[in-house]
Amino acid sequence: MDAQGRGRAGGIDPADQWVFDPKTGSYELRLDQAEEAGQASGHSSSTASTADAPAAPPKPRSTEAPPGRRAVPPQRGGGGGGRRAGAKPATGRRRPKPKKSTKKKVMLWTGGTLAFVLVGGSLGAYLLYQHFNNNLNKIDVGVDNAAVTKGPVNILVIGTDKRDGKGNQGYGDEGSVGHADTTLLFHVSEDRSNATALSIPRDMITDIPECTTKKDGKTTTIPGSTGVRFNESLGQEDRDPGCTWRTVEALTGLKVSHFMMADFNAVKQMSAAVGGVEVCLAKDIDDPKSHLKLSKGRHKIQGEDALAFVRTRHSVGFESDLDRIKLQQQFLSSMIREMKSDDTFTNPKKLYNLGDAATKSLTVDTGIGSVSNLTKLAKDLSRVNIKNISFVTVPVKDNPAEGKNHKTVVLDKTKSDPLFAMVRDDVSLTEVKEKEKKEQEKADAAQDALLKGPKAEPGSVRVKVLNGSGRIGAAQEAVVWMQNTKGMRLTSNGGNAVGGKKLDKTVLEFAPNQADQARRLAEVMGLPVEALKVGKADAAPTAEMTLTLGADYKAAGTPVSVPTPAKAPEGIQKVEADDKNICAK
């Protein structure tokens, strides 16, 4: 199969090799379809040369199946192996189970589009196309996570400004090494009910941690940088996506699961593969720098126009990168809708073109460095409904160090801290699962009651402190602070957590008759309700509670956790993926 020629080999269209199977309700790859087509073609071309030859006797029809196909049983009723004429039909057979509709089957199989649109969505339909594996590029970033995990998923999506590829040299900065021009962290909740895509401004001033790169078997350590643009986390100083990975983790406090990186060709080829992406403009735009020229209203764009749309910034808003991010969020939302449409899912040729375009322009980490693993990830994320996907820009403000003529921005921590906390704790930015939300609120109210009531005197609090924070000496530090500063003399250091495990969250375990002690300790340590675990049976009068420090314990005297906000901060830039009424101004 010729990948460069869209899979045509010997005049065979790859889409013709996909056959709809009514038994499964999905398309299946039948390579013998191509063989039969080729044989039929060869037969017809040789007809003229054999016209004068004596006709051969017809061969009896074989019931033996070609390789990869089921055998066809002989017909009944006429003779051979059929039942006798006049015989009663067999009884007692089970009724066939009702099959899922074709549409539902296809949606279940290919719903993994949400794995991420910018660089490729559902690859399930292409599992048998081995050449897609050859399209994929992989980079070892020193982290080899499994393709699918049970907890939350954080996919780092990087669009570079590298000008490689046909027709891309004319976009300025021709010699760019490929910086992190467009970066999103796509967070999917643990229960797969919602997702939040955090857009990170490229001109945000931040710190880039030290990182290591691997190339041609050689490992290189690249020193960190302080107070530089975020986009320098890739390309600059030969940094690879692993450096951007670590920068994002340090910035947000979220653990990245996988990365996907694409260039300009991804936007051009994938928008064309789905037949165009609808966008909306509130005014005419003629931007000679991005080559975008569109009139006011709605347009379906693809190829060069699509790339120009996501690159333009000098004709919208205040001509800043933040305004460009709004266009990208509109474009990606629309592409998600297009890729999840029936017109795409039920069209084998369109699916093939989409997968081919995605994998050709895609670079990923080793954990998802095969079509098979990408498919597993896509299917795992397919439960997210498009109406529960939010795009939000990381809150920033003008860089005060630059005065009025600012060209960069800095993190607005008053808004970014609560936003990052919401994402880390799987709090949706959309209203989802209302019934479960009310049940959770009821459970939270019951937990809140644990903090209400009498508190024991500090000198009466008996607690054993275990260290599961991952930081050496944390338990002893906490004990000394509680004894010397808070008057809790009956505290002790219990050493490392059970099994030497590292915990993400601090936990306080106590008996019902120790509730007053637990309330006092929760107040002193700044423990959230979620950290309190009450047992069923009362404890002996001199028994100790157990406090296991987690990674959220930072230092003695610092509250363990700040309550997670119930809603997003006011004034942040947010777009819902299901909103079709967004028009660029």
3-state secondary structure 134-172: HHCEEECCCCCCCCCCCCCEEEEEEEECCCCCCCCHHHC
Each residue's pLDDT expressed in tens, for the chain with a length of 585 residues: 333 333 444 444 444 555 555 555 555 555 444 444 444 444 444 443 333 444 444 444 444 444 444 444 444 444 444 444 444 444 445 555 555 444 443 333 333 333 434 333 334 343 444 667 788 889 999 998 999 988 999 999 999 877 555 555 454 455 556 889 899 999 999 989 899 999 999 999 999 999 999 988 899 999 999 999 999 999 999 999 999 999 999 999 999 999 999 888 888 988 998 899 999 999 998 888 888 899 999 999 999 999 989 888 877 776 788 888 988 999 998 988 888 777 776 777 777 787 788 788 889 999 999 888 888 888 888 788 888 899 999 999 999 998 777 789 999 999 999 999 999 988 888 866 555 556 666 656 655 666 778 999 999 999 999 999 999 999 999 999 999 999 999 999 999 998 888 898 999 999 999 999 999 999 999 888 888 999 999 999 999 999 999 999 989 988 887 667 777 778 888 888 888 888 877
Nearest to 156 by CA among 253, 230, 256: 256
Q: What pLDDT shows up at residue 124?
A: 39
- Integer angstrom CA distances of residue 106 from 310, 343, 351: 30, 11, 12
Token pair, residue 434, equals 């209302």
Token pair, residue 345, equals 């899912």
Residue that has been written with the tokens 């675990």 in this structure: 533
| Cα four-point dihedral sign 238, 242, 245, 251 | negative
445: left (phi over 0), alpha (psi -120 to 50) or beta: alpha
Q: What pLDDT shows up at residue 562?
A: 66
Nearest-angstrom CA–CA distance, 539 and 542: 8
Residues in Cβ contact with 338 at an 8 Å cutoff, skipping those fewer than 6 apart: 274, 275, 276, 277, 278, 344
Nearest-angstrom CA–CA distance, 523 and 541: 22
Going by the DSSP 8-state scheme, the letter that residue 132 receives in this structure is: H
How many beta carbons lie within 10 A of that of residue 87, not counting itself?
8
429 burial via Cβ count (<10 Å: 0-12, 13-18, 19+)? buried
Nearest to 553 by CA among 526, 530, 520: 526
Q: What pLDDT shows up at residue 35?
A: 44
Nearest-angstrom CA–CA distance, 514 and 455: 10
Nearest-angstrom CA–CA distance, 191 and 292: 40
Q: Are 30 and 19 in contact (CB under 8 A)?
A: yes
Packing angle, helices 515-525 and 434-451, rounded to 10 = 100
Going by the DSSP 8-state scheme, the letter that residue 76 receives in this structure is: S
Q: What pLDDT shows up at residue 52?
A: 40
Q: Are 20 and 103 in contact (CB under 8 A)?
A: no
125 burial via Cβ count (<10 Å: 0-12, 13-18, 19+)? buried
Nearest-angstrom CA–CA distance, 168 and 311: 12
Nearest-angstrom CA–CA distance, 212 and 222: 6
How many beta carbons lie within 10 A of that of residue 511, not counting itself?
17
Nearest to 354 by CA among 366, 367, 340, 368: 340
Residue that has been written with the tokens 């490929």 in this structure: 178
Torsion of CA 81, 84, 89, 95, to 10 degrees: 10
Strand boundaries in 252-357, DSSP class E: 258-262, 277-281, 285-287, 292-294, 297-301
Q: What pLDDT shows up at residue 200?
A: 96
Taking all residues of the chain, what is their mean pLDDT, rounded to a whole number? 77
Residue that has been written with the tokens 């009362």 in this structure: 538
Nearest-angstrom CA–CA distance, 514 and 462: 9
Q: Tell me the pairing of strands 545-549 and 463-467.
A: parallel
**Structural domains present in the chain:** 105-432 (3.40.630.190), 443-549 (3.30.70)
Nearest to 224 by CA among 205, 208, 248, 246: 208
Nearest-angstrom CA–CA distance, 352 and 105: 18
Q: What pLDDT shows up at residue 301?
A: 94
Nearest-angstrom CA–CA distance, 80 and 60: 13
How many beta carbons lie within 10 A of that of residue 365, not counting itself?
27
Nearest-angstrom CA–CA distance, 571 and 356: 40
Torsion of CA 263, 264, 269, 275, to 10 degrees: 120
- Integer angstrom CA distances of residue 99 from 13, 25, 413, 503: 30, 8, 52, 45
Residue that has been written with the tokens 């998600």 in this structure: 336
Residues in Cβ contact with 420 at an 8 Å cutoff, skipping those fewer than 6 apart: 252, 253, 254
The vertex-79 CA angle with 78 and 82, nearest 5°, equals: 90
Q: Tell me the pairing of strands 204-208 and 225-229.
A: antiparallel
3-state secondary structure (DSSP) of residue 89: coil
